[in-house]
Every structure is written in C-alpha cells, then in structure tokens.
A and B are shown apart, each in its own frame.
Chain A
Amino acid sequence: MNGFVSILLILVSSILVNNYVLSRFLGICPFLGVSKRVETAVGMGMAVTFVMALASVITYLVHYLVLVPLKLEFLQTIAFILVIAALVQLVEMVIQKTSPTLYEALGVYLPLITTNCAVLGVAIINITEGYNLLETLFSGIGAALGFTIAIVLFAGIRERIELSDIPDSFKDFPIALITASLMAVAFLGFSGLV
C-alpha cells in the first residue's frame, strides 16, 4: 500500500505540481517548436513519453549497476546523454518505419529530443530523489505525461490564437511566449497539492 501511495504521489507531482515544462522549465525547445498543431503535439508527446519512460529505467540501471559499483558517479551526465541519444535513434527508426507522416511532421524536433533537457532532467532527478526502479519508471511516465498535457493544451491555445486578431508585433512567437508564461502561472495553482 505504501508503495502504491508513493507512486501516486510521484505521478501527481510530476504531472501537475512539478510539471517539467511549466514549473521546472525544462524541455522548452520542443514545447515552443512543435506546438503549432494539436496532432503533431500529440505525436511529439508520445515520442517523448516513450523516450522518457525507457530512458528513466535504463539510466537507473546504468547508474546503479555500472556507475555506482565502479565509483564513477561523476560520469552520470555523460553516460545518461549516451543512453538518451541511443534511445532517440531507436525511436526515430521505429517512427520512420511505422508512421512516415508523423516522422515528417516531427521533423528536426525528433532528433532534438536527444538534447531535450527534460529527458536528462528526469533521469538525474530520479537519482537525486533516490527513487527505486518502479518509482523511477512512474516518475519518467509522469514527467512525459505532464509534458504531453502541457504541449497539447498549448497547441490547442495556439491554434485558436492563430485565428485571432492580434497586434502585428505580437504575432507568432511573442504571443506564444506570453501564453506559455500565463500557463505556467496557472499551473502554479497546483502547488501545495502534494
């Protein structure tokens, strides 16, 4: 029971309270880059979910099975980036094979997950928080779901904004940044939930 509660807490915390995009401000690049259409945002969210869940588990294993026994914890960052880069390559191949349309829609942002700080961030936070393997897995999934929710909501808002009459100087990115900051303020309302 205790384990179940802690997993639930981790999920709520990483999806809403400590949303990786809107309160930790990690992974802003794809958040702004792939949020013009809801469909591509959903695709990006799924790709990130897949990468984050796998990356959390594999980085956990790499950390505790390879780095800790050899007392090489200082190699954490570089080893984790290696894991993430390899995973992104794998995801890219899978998507290209299964859905060429999604592959084209994601474009350059798919390889950019490699340097997505949210993925590296969740891996490192898992270690510093001292989660066990199951908690790590759910922390990764939660973080990715939080990212997906944020990017899909944001894409929905941007689709509406595109049709609105806004001053020329605010068109496209400026208004997107303002929207993102307002969303971050809104997500602040979740703090204190956990």
Chain B
Amino acid sequence: MLSIVLISVAVIGGLGLVFGIGLGIASKKLAVVPDEMLGEVIELLPGVNCGGCGYPGCNAFAKALCQGNTSIAECAVCVSDNANKIAKVLGVEATEKKRLVARVMCVGVKEKIVDKFDYYGMQDCRAAVSLSGGAKACPVGCLGLGTCQKVCPFDAITVDEKEGLARVNPDKCTGCSKCAIECPRDTITMMDPENRVYNACRLQQKGKSVKEICKAGCIGCGICAKVCKFDAITMVDNLPVFDYDKCVYCGLCAKKCPQQCIAFYKKPKLIKED
C-alpha cells in the first residue's frame, strides 16, 4: 500500500521536475528583454489608445518615440507636464503642436429637423448612412446615433437622446480627432480652440429650402456679415466664413443671428496651460 503512494509521489514529482526544467530552459531562451526607456515612456503616455497620433495605440507610439521615428508633439493628449517628462526620458527637446478641439457642425436638434423616414436599423451612424444617406432630410447634419460617443476614448462627446445631437465637452476633448475620422457625414470638424466663434451649420442652401429640411439651420441671410463692424465675416455659398485675424470676439453676430446657429464661447477655457 505504502509503495503505491510513494511511487505516485515519485511519478508526479518526476513529471513536474521534467516539465519544470523544460520550462526553465524555455524561459531563458524566450525571455523578453524589457526595454527600460520604452517602459518609462509607456508609463508616461496617457494609455487610452486613442490613435490620434496615427499609431495603433500608445504602446506602438512609445516604440516609435524610442526609435526616434516621431515626436511627442504628435500626441494630442499629453499635457505639457507629461510631454516634458517624456522628452527628458528620450533626451530630446519637447515641442508642442497646436491642439485642436472637436466641434459638431450641426444645430439640428430633434424637434427642429425633418426626417425622410423612420430608421429602425443598427444604432450606429456609419450603418445608418448606408441607407439612402441617413434618415435626416439634411444631407450634412448630425445623425445623432452616437458613433462619435462610442469611439471617443475620453467621454468628451455625448449624444442626448432627446436632442438627437452630439455635444462636445471642450474641457474633456483632447483633440485626438477620432470622432472626426469616424463621423460618416464629416459633421465634426477639428478647430483651433482659440477661434471661439463659428457658424455651426454646413447647409449651403438658402432660406426656404433650408427651412423645409431643418428649422434650426443657417438660412444664409447674411445678417451676421452685415452687423460685423470689423469685416470679419464674408458670405460664401450661403454660409458665413470667419476671418479670425479680424475677429475681436465681440459676439454681436451670434446675438443677431435669427437662427441662433452661430456658436460663441465667451472666454477661452479650452487652452490647457499647466
């Protein structure tokens, strides 16, 4: 009886020993040499894998940084403090690229727009657009199915179900432009956050035909261009175009717009300075 127990122990122990030795040899041969610099850079990067830098995720970006193929300025998320630290690890000078902010170029909330048909398909703008360009009669407006909200790694975009319109939280937006890339209607535009006034409608038609498809859209009346005291607004294709060199951000155009589709932010709260 005892011998069976002893043999069992010996056999299992022996098997374990053989496998253990095998694994030991394998771990030596297959050891991954951890790159110290790479580890440090990965640690300092935001780690949200937004893809704004053009690399598939932060790890790939860190690798490219270590090999000197890219610059830290490409990362839209790293605020200056972290960027400097990474530059120090890499032994290079920190450069900073102008940060952008995502802006939704649509004011068509649900009760103001006209639908061509009722859409019951996949709750995703990219799918909806494949069905005769989306349910909204407006060819350029926000479909409000929340593709941007889904792809945003920073929770900066929300689509309110009642509103049916994407809204960007400029404090959370890092300018990675993932939403702008995924939006099938290109309704999201990346803009300089210092340009605090802009026309949030891209419908190039005039007056009545705009009203037929969206009660909130820009009707191309040109009042904004007329009231501007600094000649900063010109009308191009029935839409106001802002000359930001001339604009003093008085907000008069936004106030006088009969459709209230000119967005105006009072103070520059988007610029991150640490």
Q: Report A's interface with B, CB cutoff 8 A.
A: 62, 66-67, 70, 72, 75, 78-79, 82-83, 86, 89-90, 93-94, 96-97, 100, 163-165
Contacts and interface: CB of A to CB of B under 8 A. Distances in A.
B30 A93 contact: yes
B30 A86 contact: no
Nearest to B18: A86
Contact of A164 (B11, B30, B32, B122): B122
B22 A86 contact: yes
Given A89-B23, A97-B30, A165-B123, A66 B11 contact: yes
Contacts of B19: 82-83, 86
13 contacts: A66-B15, A70-B11, A72-B4, A72-B11, A78-B12, A90-B22, A93-B26, A93-B30, A96-B32, A100-B59, A163-B122, A163-B124, A164-B122
A62 B7 contact: no
A75 B123 contact: no
B248 interface: no
A104 B7 CA distance: 41
Interface of B: 4, 7-8, 11-12, 15-16, 19-20, 22-23, 26-27, 30, 32, 59, 120, 122-124, 127
B30 A94 contact: yes
B26 A72 contact: no
Given A75-B12, A163-B123, 15 more contacts: A62-B15, A72-B4, A72-B7, A72-B11, A75-B8, A79-B12, A83-B15, A83-B19, A90-B22, A94-B30, A97-B30, A163-B122, A164-B123, A165-B122, A165-B123
A135 to B, nearest CB: 24
A154 to B, nearest CB: 19
Contacts of B120: 165
Contact of A93 (B11, B12, B27, B127): B27
A60 to B, nearest CB: 14
